[in-house]
Amino acid sequence: MNDFPVPAADRTGTERLSRRGFLGMSAAAGLVAAGALHGTAGAATASAADATAATSTPTAPFRTSLSLSPETENVLAQVALGDGTRTATTPEQLQRLYMAHGSTEMYARMATRRVATANNGEQGFQRVIERACLAKKLGLPLNVELGLWGVYGDVSHQPGPDFSDYPLIWLPGPWESLTVNQMVYALRMYGAMAASQILATGVKVNVWDIGNEVEFGVAGVAPRGFTASTDYWSYSAPDAVDPAIGQMQVYTLLLQMSDSDRISWLRTHLWPHTGRLLAAVSEGIRWVDPQAKFSSHTSVIAMQYPGFAEAFWKAMDDAGFHVHQLGTSYYPTSVQYGDQLAAFKNSSQSLHSTFGKQVFIAETGYPSGTMTAPLEWNTPVSGYPLTTQGQYDFYRDLVAWGATDGSLAGIRPWAPDSSVTFWQPMSHFAPAAGGTSTAKPVLDAITHGLQQAAS
């Protein structure tokens, strides 16, 4: 077998990376990856692009990310979705419906497994390629999120990637047993291969998101979180990266440390590794897409603690992960204390002024009624009751403020189509009547907020 030679700096046990194709990788894509491994022009281009990304980012058109979700196929198998004029029974019809209500992009979240069958339809590589083809057909840019987990992870737990569907990526042992250098090399290859396949569809990727709610780690390099095991994963400490990580728990960081001690521990033991891992994926993507723009996102937690989000993004930049926009989840009714809207606005303005970059709301939901288990997020923001009108008013006013202030780059309602699960109060469609879930007023809230900002 002919193997790619490994740069000396990366000779840490990952020397055997086969030339064999991955998921039908084209010869051209293989040549791109090979050139990148030898440190040729692609690396120089990436360095120049990173330097540009580190400077302030000019304001771009507001991103209205009304998009298909990982739940879409499950929902459409049970009900149709309509707005009174259009009725959608296929993903393409639903995305066209969203476009009629202002959608400017499509979104796809990607697990490392080719088909991710657990966790309510989370998207594997195969589904993302389908989304990319549809976005190309509809003339929409695609926003891709590479989760860096085999099936699913978020702030509650951060599993490592499962590269068993990637024969080109050879690992010297279980993921959590690797050193950070070994992880970096594999993630560079993953970024290049994933980008090659996605871009081969002809789609334009406007932003590559890397990781999902990453302030407490990513790709298996994380303290013990709120969840220690699932049906597809159990926690393993990344001792070869730093033994202190496995000795820490997220609960301890949040509940038993002062703000300064929490940030100090994360800066010392975790964030430099988080930044290196995210940067490695971005480097691989830039071998294929030299002009790529990047983001990631933190959870709602990062926006609640003074100085936390600013310290996190500074640490990412110091570690070499340079982003175009600063992403965050925002579920205001999940937090039971303080003025959540005021806190979010203050944090967004602080991030914008500190880094010269806008905040993108990568996930959000505001319920139109009472939510039930497993997520009873029912603390209303003052002035916005948990009703269909309150839901509409909240998003219209948030968008109007963000577009006028300039702090917000855009907004993505999470799973707007999920009208047949516990998420229904958060969705943009009412419970089904006669086999069709009909849109709530919130479906037009983003457009109306932008109109208000422009008036």
Over the stretch 335-353, which tens digit does the pLDDT of each residue have?
888 888 999 999 999 999 9
Segment 412-418 shows an average pLDDT of 97
Beta-strand ranges (E) seen in 50-154 are: 63-64, 80-82, 87-88, 106-110, 142-146
Q: Is 130:138 a contact under the CB 8 Å cutoff? A: no
Report the pLDDT averaged over residues 28-53: 39
Residues 28-51: what's their mean pLDDT?
A: 38
Tokens found for residue 153: 């992870």
The SS3 call for residue 454 is: helix
pLDDT digits (tens, 9 = 90+) for 370-399: 999 999 999 999 999 999 999 999 999 999
pLDDT, position 411: 98
Q: Per-residue confidence at 29, pLDDT binned at 50, 70, 90? A: very low
Give me the pLDDT at residue 356, please.
Answer: 97
pLDDT at site 130: 95
Query: Which percentage of the chain shows pLDDT scores above 90?
Result: 80
Among residues of the chain, what percentage have pLDDT more than 70?
A: 86
Domain boundaries, the chain: 1-60+103-130+148-199+212-292+305-320, 68-102+325-455
Q: Is the pLDDT of residue 43 over 80?
A: no
| pLDDT classification of 10: cutoffs 50, 70, 90 | very low
Residues 96, 87: Cα–Cα separation, whole Å:
10
- For the entire predicted model, the pTM comes to 0.88
Q: In this predicted structure, what is the pLDDT of residue 231?
A: 85
Angle at 204 between CA 200 and CA 208, to 5 degrees: 95
| pLDDT score for 393 | 98
Rounded-to-integer distance, Cα 166 and Cα 98, Å: 34
Residue 8 clears pLDDT 50, i.e. is over it: no
Give the pLDDT confidence of 418-444 residue by residue, as tens digits: 999 999 999 999 999 889 999 999 999
The answer on pLDDT for 117 being more than 80 is no
Q: Tell me what the mean pLDDT of segment 291-301 comes to.
A: 97
**9-36 exposure pattern, b = at least 16 Cβ within 10 A, e = fewer:** ebebbbeebeeeebbebeeebbebbeeb
Q: Which residue has the higher pLDDT, 395 or 36?
A: 395
Mean pLDDT confidence for 357-378: 97
User: Of 269, 296, 271, whose CA–CA distance to 282 is shortest?
Assistant: 296
Q: Taking residues 322-343, what's their average pLDDT?
A: 93
For position 119, what pLDDT does the model report?
52
Residue 283: is its pLDDT beyond 80? yes
Question: For residue 164, what pLDDT is reported?
Answer: 93
Between 29-33, 96-100, 202-206, 360-364, the lowest mean confidence (pLDDT) is in: 29-33
Within 319-380, where are the H helices?
340-355
DSSP string covering 299-317: -GGGGTSTTHHHHHHHHHH
Q: Is the pLDDT of residue 13 over 70?
A: no
Tokens 């943009």, residue? 428
Residue-averaged pLDDT of the chain: 88
pLDDT number for residue 121: 52
| pLDDT above 80 for 135 | yes
Q: What is the mean pLDDT of residues 139-156?
A: 95
Is the pLDDT at 106 greater than 90? The verdict is yes
Looking at residue 210, its pLDDT comes to 98
State the pLDDT at residue 75: 95
Q: What is the mean pLDDT of residues 174-179?
A: 97
Q: Whose CA is closest to 252, among 225, 220, 222? A: 225
Task: Please enumerate in sequence order all residues whose Cβ is within 8 A of that of 326, keeping only pairs 6 or more positions apart, or say none.
Answer: 295, 309, 313, 351, 355, 357, 358, 359, 360
Mean per-residue pLDDT for 270-286?
98
* Distance from chain centroid for Cα 161: 15
C-alpha distances in Å from residue 299, one per residue of 11, 175, 344, 402: 35, 24, 12, 19
d(CA 252, CA 332): 23
Q: Which pLDDT value is given to residue 122?
A: 66
Q: What integer is the mean pLDDT of 11-16? A: 32
The average pLDDT across 84-102 equals 98
Whether the pLDDT of residue 37 is over 50: the answer is no
89 — pLDDT class (breaks 50, 70, 90): very high
* Angle ∠(45,50,51) on CA atoms, nearest 5: 100
**pLDDT value at 45 more than 90:** no
- In the predicted structure, residue 46 carries a pLDDT above the cut 60: no
